[in-house]
Structure 1
Amino acid sequence: MEEAEVDAIDELIERFEQVERVERETVLDADEERAWEAISDPAELERWLADEVDLEPVEGAPARFEVDGEERPGRVERVVEGRELAFTWSRAPGEESLVELVLAPCVGGTRISVVETRLRTGADAPPLLMSGWDDGLRGLRRLAHLVLA
């Protein structure tokens, strides 16, 4: 395969990964209480979501995430104790997105659904990368007592 063809394929793959909304889900081999801890406790979030997390699961509370040395400030938008945590985060001004983590009981454990939606749309809005959530959910499944069912 020619180098130009490889470059064209790489560019096409990158465009498919850049979207305005990313949805992912998996089943955790854990009860809802343990799964809630994994998505609402900063120490647990640091094990699978970000290098550093400063977050209190209270609506309106400020949040801060550090991912690969990049600061992402945000705010807790919605909390349904034991079921749902939603927060905003942004890489830079104007690049804000809403992240929704939703838990539901299911056969074999607890289903976690992750939806990240870009809040600003249009040609100049920055893209979301789907592969980031794939990596994050793999990390979550590796947590102790949270194994893919």
Structure 2
Amino acid sequence: MTTLTPDADKVVPTGRIERVDGDYVLAFDLQLDYPRSYIWSLLTERGKVAKWLGNLLDDWALGHPYELDLGSGSASGTVLQYNPPLSLQITWEDELGDESVIEWRVLESAGGTLLQFRARTESSDFLTEGSAGWQTILEGLEAVAAGRTPDNSTDRWTPLREAYAREYSLSPSMGTVRKESGHTSVHFDRLLDADRDTVWQALTDPAKFSRWLAPGKLQLQVGGVIKLDFPDFTLEGDVSYVLGDQALEYSWSSPEVQESSVHWLLSPAGSKTLLQLSHTLRSPGRTDVLLGKWHDRLDALAVLLAGGEVHPSAHRLDALAKFYRRVFGTGAPGNRSS
């Protein structure tokens, strides 16, 4: 379904993604050979929480807000349940404003403790990423319980994300930065709930791409012209590659990058379509802004294909750019993604 990294077949999802009353629920059940009181202390004592999750700025308290410094981000919310030593339930709002409900249940089982984790959300946005993230976090909790230091390397996160996407036929949400033929490239894989012809029309028919990308025109032939009228600039480029209803490439110049090209590739995935977008930079550019804008526009494409109405949000776009800036840097010369 997705283009797999070399280690993607070496990781196994230990969580389950279920549908419950229209919501998505990520579930983990961990059998731990330690007393329930000890596992409860790992969930609730701030010094211990800091070893596997993040710095809790104040103690959990029923009905009270909390803040977590995750080191590579932050989360906040409200404590919904606090029942020692049985259950802790919180709302979890991340830096993008996405919210879920997180619950830990701590049960005596087989001479040790069964730790149940549930994360419930309405949307599949960042679901594969979140599943991979929570699996590594809970592995860190297991390490701390055993007196070990958690492995905080990110090597397993990408193959885990792909493994969850493959196992549950879900689309990754997050873009990445790659090197392709010596050039920096912004890349997205999106699994879209439409057949390839429908997605191709959305990419190439001006009446359709004006609803999710920008008004404009496209001459669908090599040497043809593409023009897109964005609110802050007008793109005028040349089509360099067309392959049936599968692939399209054209040049791109915008405030974020002067010389670049955008390549679209569509592949059937059962009744769905895998869309792969590569935006290759041939001059210095702002990868954080490009990642945020393409993320936002691909979300809009998915909404359109699902029959919904696209409602642009400047706040969401700004939050996405800040998120990608934290993860990848700006992409400008001298920054780590350049």
- TM above 0.5, one fold? yes
Q: Which amino acid aligns with 2:300?
A: G
Match of 1:30 in 2: 194
Larger strand proportion, structure 1 or 2? 1
Deviations 1:39-65 (A, max 9, x none): 111121111112x22111111112111
CA distance in 2, matches of 1:25, 1:139: 15
Number of residue-to-residue matches in the alignment: 126
Match of 1:3 in 2: none
Q: Which amino acid aligns with 1:138?
A: D
CA contact (8 A) 2:194 2:305 kept: no
Identity of aligned residues (%): 29
Match of 1:126 in 2: 285
The alpha-carbon deviation at position 38 of structure 1 amounts to 0.8
**Given the alignment of the two structures, is residue 97 of structure 1 paired with residue 256 of structure 2, yes or no?**
no
Q: Which amino acid aligns with 1:127?
A: R
The alpha-carbon deviation at position 134 of structure 1 amounts to 0.6
> Whose radius of gyration is greater, 1 or 2?
2
CA contact (8 A) 1:73 1:91 kept: no
CA distance in 2, matches of 1:138, 1:43: 18
Answer with 79-88 or 125-134: which moved more: 125-134
CA contact (8 A) 1:27 1:110 kept: yes
**Given the alignment of the two structures, is residue 70 of structure 1 paired with residue 233 of structure 2, yes or no?**
yes
Specify every segment of 5 or more residues in structure 2 that has no aligned partner in the other structure, as ranges. Answer: 1-72, 74-174, 178-183, 309-338
Which of structures 1 and 2 has the larger relative contact order (alpha carbons within 8 angstroms, sep 6+)?
1
Match of 2:245 in 1: 82
Specify every segment of 5 or more residues in structure 1 that has no aligned partner in the other structure, as ranges. Answer: 1-8, 10-16
SS in 2 for 1:38: helix
Q: Which amino acid aligns with 2:232?
A: G
Deviations 1:64-120 (A, max 9, x none): 11222311111111001110111112126x802100111000034111111101122
From 185, 190, 208, give the equivalent of 1:21: 185
